Structure 1
């Protein structure tokens, strides 16, 4: 079996792009449907509903693009640090679309290193997606003496994580299982290991706890 560590950066980038396109397909498709309905609709109430649909879909699309721009890309300015308020706003925007999810934020540091922010954002997304029936998402991070520790906890009536994503987080996934869904987890495991750290995961049917440590 090929070693995922030998994967070219361009191939990993293509998988991350595929993930981004997949996540944008639904809200953009809803916008297209809304425009088609609006063009054929004359009833004022229905037109108002179409505009509401378009507004919601446009907001969801913009939120996801902004999130993935920092989680996958080179956003956050040209410095080594990122304002944690930017990361918090991006996560809050995604949580706002999940009516049954509450967010608790425990990040006292005003700035975090870029690699740490990418790990934090991606772990937060994994935790949020695991709350299939709603629940609590708790995010904590602290950078001190050149080390950043990150913890994301998701708890609720039912919390799930795909086995291949869990394996990718632990660096235990074969190249044949890498795809758009697992690429973000593989990417942040690689980031952690490249910075002298690792990612650990503990899970049960009602909770998911993911911790990461990086030297930055």
Structure 2
């Protein structure tokens, strides 16, 4: 699968707009309700809903800025704490998902952070009924004298939801004509892995989705 940078960027923008439509729409609806509402108690409730929608919008924008964009510069390491804060913010309002972290480094290359964030998003989406999201990553010296980032994310819960097309895009076997805004993040990760001399893998079990990546000299 070969996709031009422009086409991939366009699809990623479409995905971002799709995911931002709900919280931004809630802001718009809340403002309309607030303009017509006179009851003090209901107005207070509107303010609370507006605050919640604004927070969700900001959290998602921060997440996508690093997961898809150029936040943190090019070729730099990014603090794992930053990625953790972004993922934890996404699931803060979903008490049905428990997130566990096991990362041995304080910082990882930006390509590894992007992979970790997108894997986390895939995992969250795979748990419509809740469950456990385990994220692990390691940055180590390899046998060739360079370095490698190893990333594993496991989403476990009832009725795992994972589009097979996303998996094929991740492995690079999805035909270019079938690429969409839904599969664009996985296609981006595949290209990222190719550039880092690594690979992406996934496996689906009865009650779990497992995502793995190895990026050399990431």
Alignment partner of 1:114 is 2:115: no
User: Which segments of 5 or more consecutive residues in structure 1 lack a partner in the other structure?
Assistant: none
Aligned partner of residue 91 in structure 2, secondary structure: helix
Structure 1 residues 32-47: aligned runs within 5 Å? 32-47=28-43
Task: Please give the TM-score of this superposition, normalised by the length of structure 2.
Answer: 0.95
Distance 2:20 2:93 in 1: 14
Residue 78 of structure 1 and its aligned partner are, at CA, apart by 5.6
Structure 1 residues 133-152: aligned runs within 5 Å? 133-145=129-141, 146-152=147-153
In the TM superposition, what whole-angstrom CA distance separates every residue of 1:119-162 from its partner, at most 9, and x where no partner exists?
A: 11101100011001000000000000100000000001121101
Report the counterpart of residue 21 of structure 1 in structure 2: 17
Report the counterpart of residue 76 of structure 1 in structure 2: 72
- 1:79/1:194 CA distance change after superposition, 3 Å: closer
Aligned-residue CA RMSD (Å): 1.0
Report the counterpart of residue 124 of structure 2 in structure 1: 128
Structure 1 residues 1-216: aligned runs within 5 Å? 4-5=1-2, 7-77=3-73, 80-145=76-141, 146-216=147-217
Residue 44 of structure 1 and its aligned partner are, at CA, apart by 1.1
In the TM superposition, what whole-angstrom CA distance separates every residue of 1:5-54 from its partner, at most 9, and x where no partner exists?
A: 1x221111111011000000000000000000000001111111111110
Once the two structures are overlaid, the 10-residue window that deviates more, 36-45 or 72-81, is 72-81
4+ runs deviating over 4 angstroms: none
Residue 163 of structure 1 and its aligned partner are, at CA, apart by 1.2
Count of aligned pairs between the two proteins: 212
Q: Contact between 1:160 and 1:205, CA under 8 Å: does it hold in 2? A: no
Residue 79 of structure 1 and its aligned partner are, at CA, apart by 5.8
User: Which segments of 5 or more consecutive residues in structure 2 lack a partner in the other structure?
Assistant: 142-146
Once the two structures are overlaid, the 10-residue window that deviates more, 40-49 or 73-82, is 73-82
Distance 2:93 2:12 in 1: 22
In the TM superposition, what whole-angstrom CA distance separates every residue of 1:51-91 from its partner, at most 9, and x where no partner exists?
A: 11101110010000000000001102466211111001000
